[in-house]
A and B are shown apart, each in its own frame.
Chain A
Amino acid sequence: MTAVASGRMVNSLTTGRLPRGSVWMLLIGSWVLLGLVFLFVQLSGATKSFNLVGAIFLGTVLFDVLIFVISLLVEGVRKAKDRLVTSLVATAFIVALLPLVSLLWTVVQHGLGRMIQPSFFSMSMRNVLDGSGGVVHALYGTLEITLATTIISVPIGLMTAIYLVEYGRGPLARAITFLVDVMTGIPSIVAGLFAFALFALLTGNPGFRSGFAGAVALSVLMIPVIVRSSEEMLKLVANELREAAFALGVPKWLTVLKVVLPTALPGIMTGITLAIARVIGETAPLLIASGYSDSVNFDLFSNRMMSLPVFVYTQYANQGSIAEFFTARSWAAALTLILIVMLLNLAARLVARIFSPKLGR
């Protein structure tokens, strides 16, 4: 590829290759360069603050170009293409990280100050006109609705998964598998419309909203998730365990209850926790089926019920005379919601990690 320097001892294995570590130096170099550029832009007064996101993004793009050109000169076209793709793939990852970091940073920055004020977890929004007020009513609502959703969805979802894995043969099993797939694709707002239409017809009151209607809407979204994850976990249980139980004369239902389910339980628990984490952040169905209110409502079956995601939305969308109060509460509630969801995800991972080694070998 490149001309070998004549008259000197050359290691034929390393010629025509970039020296080790040069890639990282190049990457850091490009970041520093673009950082300096943006620093000068800031010092010249064109932008108010240092644009870190822009510096990292453009620095990475500069690196992609540089590595291709340099590798093309030193290593030839095949290796250059390989290096280009490697850096592009890494760039894709960094590009995906930028919104995540930016979002988390924004929510913490805007929400933390308001969240740690004592009123936030001790007051509802009833008769609140100033900057105080809190999310108590929304927390109770989210807790009750999510609990009701879990109580509806877990038995149905788990039993269906058992049916599909242990009993299901023939057209009914095929129909259920297909319909679970269809259900997975239902847009969340359509689930909300369904619950609204159902309860409007049942009660004869087109303005009817309740926490339970919201729970029904969320169940439509949660059941297929639970069926899918539980099905996967039940399929993982070794057939030898079932056969051993049958050989000992254990009836089928006891085999499922005492052998199959306990073996698959950690995986099923993980699936359920992840499903709860997914459903707890759903806004659209609750906005339609449960409505929103300013006061605490413990009754799941009548009157509007507030929930945390709807609180985030309504505080942002229906701002009063002093907008900062409302946006501050909205961000604080958003931070609370993210914390809850992340905790649930962490719990799911922990359950999976602590119990999973018992599966398999």
Chain B
Amino acid sequence: MSTGTPRVIKARVRLGDRVFSTSTITAGSIIVAILAAVAIFLIAQSIPALVAKAGTLPNAASSFWDYVGPLAFGTVWAAFLALLMATPLSIGIALFISHYAPRRIAQVLGYIIDLLAAVPSVIFGLWGVSVLAPAVQPFYVWLNTSLHWFPLFGGDVSGTGRTILTVAIVLAVMVLPIMTAVCREIFLQTPRLHEEAALALGATRWEMIQMAVLPFARPGIVSAAMLGLGRALGETLAVAIVLSPALVVSFFLLTSQNPSTIAANIALQFSEASGVGVNALIASGLVLFVITFIINAIARAVVNRRRAFSGAN
């Protein structure tokens, strides 16, 4: 470690040490190799789709970008809607667990929220299509008839409830646990003295949270949202089961013509795809990977910036 200094006492190099440290380095290098392999194989398999001529691609797309465009839109749109619902909810739940619930039951409540994370996504899909969609469909009809002027609620209302809004609700439930866990961690790290100072000055609990907890936790909330977004973007089977997809780019929330997502499209089309179709699906997977990579990179950057410049610690 300190090999730079001139007068260093050299330890005898033992065989066991050599073998052990080499094998840990090998394990670390395997991870590098795996990621390189993921990138290389995906890119290699994507190239035929990227250079494909018009007419050979599925969905009668003129180019690959024409093919992936609506799917990328659907992916981002569904994840965005899910985030819109999940962010305030998860902040509320995290506050409830960290600052409102009695200490003794707070941990149990945390476990209960973690249980949501334990449910496999395919089961969320089954639940979404057989319980949630029929339950919200009458509500959609009401929204559509009474708020038809509002741009998002326009169009012809779906008869099954399998719309992108239902998908977004399912996705929101699925990303809740991870977002809540991150927010909770951050809220618990608020400097105790800041909280007590606010309370001592006569602030109510909400004013204390407003003045001490939320400003401290803002970067953490952003990174929690980004993590949730990353999860929602890559979610596959819940979307594939619940959504009734179509080849459209539309902002309508309640119709049966919904933009599909990249991941759901891969899962639904893969078994029947052949030739360039397979390459197009793999290339769309690459696009999804790039999108999630960018989102995660932003989340990490936000967290690291906080670590460096936070005045609180």
Contact = CB atoms under 8 A, between A and B. Distances in A.
B96 interface: yes
A24 interface: no
Given A96-B176, A193-B281, A288 B267 contact: yes
Interface stretch (A37-45, A123-131, A167-175): A167-175
B204 A206 contact: no
| Of listed A78, A160, A181, residue having the most chain B CB within 10 A | A160
A253 B122 contact: no
Interface stretch (A4-12, A13-21, A263-271, A278-286): A278-286
Interface string A145-168: 000000000011111101110111
Contact of A341 (B32, B119, B266, B278): B119
Interface string B255-280: 00000000100110011000000100
Contacts of B180: 96
A1 interface: no
A106 B35 CA distance: 40
Interface string B56-98: 0000000000000000000000000000000011011101110
Contact of A93 (B96, B241, B270): B96
A281 B121 contact: yes
A182 B267 contact: no
B288 A253 contact: no
Nearest to B299: A185
Interface in A18-76: 53
Given A90-B96, A313-B237, A283 B28 contact: no
B300 A181 contact: yes
Interface in B1-52: 1, 14, 16-17, 19-21, 23-32, 34-35, 37-38, 41-42, 44-45
Contact of B293 (A81, A99, A182): A182
A297 interface: no
B211 to A, nearest CB: 13
A29 to B, nearest CB: 21
A107 B289 contact: no
Interface string B168-186: 0000010010001000000
A187 B234 contact: yes
B237 A193 contact: no
A349 B116 CA distance: 15
A78 B207 contact: yes
Contacts of A53: 135
Interface stretch (A112-120, A133-141, A237-245, A329-337): A329-337
Contacts of A257: 20
Contacts of A183: 31, 34-35
Contacts of A281: 118-123
Nearest to A102: B131
Interface in A82-110: 82, 85-86, 88-93, 95-97, 99-100, 102-103, 106-107, 110
Contacts of B35: 179, 182-183
Interface string A183-211: 11111111101101110110000100000
A189 B285 contact: yes
Contact of A100 (B115, B135, B296): B115
B16 A190 contact: no
B204 A95 contact: no
A107 B123 contact: yes
B163 interface: no
A312 interface: yes
Contact of A312 (B29, B92, B122): B122
A184 B112 CA distance: 24
Q: Provide the main secondary structure of the chain B interface.
A: helix
A106 B131 contact: yes
Contacts of B91: 92
B144 interface: no
B108 to A, nearest CB: 11
B100 interface: yes
B230 A99 contact: no
Nearest to A178: B300
B293 A185 contact: yes
B207 to A, nearest CB: 7
B88 A92 contact: yes
23 contacts: A78-B204, A82-B206, A92-B96, A96-B173, A99-B127, A102-B127, A106-B127, A159-B27, A160-B30, A162-B27, A163-B25, A176-B31, A179-B32, A187-B233, A187-B285, A189-B267, A190-B234, A206-B278, A253-B17, A254-B16, A283-B121, A334-B126, A349-B111
Interface of A: 53, 78-79, 81-82, 85-86, 88-93, 95-97, 99-100, 102-103, 106-107, 110, 155-160, 162-164, 166-169, 172-173, 175-176, 179-191, 193-194, 196-198, 200-201, 206, 220, 223, 227, 251-254, 256-257, 277, 280-284, 287-288, 291, 309, 312-313, 316-317, 330-331, 334, 337-338, 341-342, 345, 349
Interface of B: 1, 14, 16-17, 19-21, 23-32, 34-35, 37-38, 41-42, 44-45, 88-89, 91-93, 95-97, 100, 109, 111-116, 118-127, 130-132, 135, 173, 176, 180, 204-207, 209, 230, 233-237, 241, 263, 266-267, 270-271, 278, 281-282, 285-286, 288-289, 292-293, 295-296, 300
* Chain A to chain B: the 10 pairs with minimum beta-carbon distance, closest first: A187-B234, A281-B120, A92-B92, A159-B27, A253-B20, A163-B24, A82-B204, A284-B236, A185-B296, A197-B41
Given A186-B292, A284-B267, 9 more contacts: A91-B92, A159-B24, A187-B292, A253-B19, A280-B120, A281-B123, A283-B121, A283-B236, A312-B122
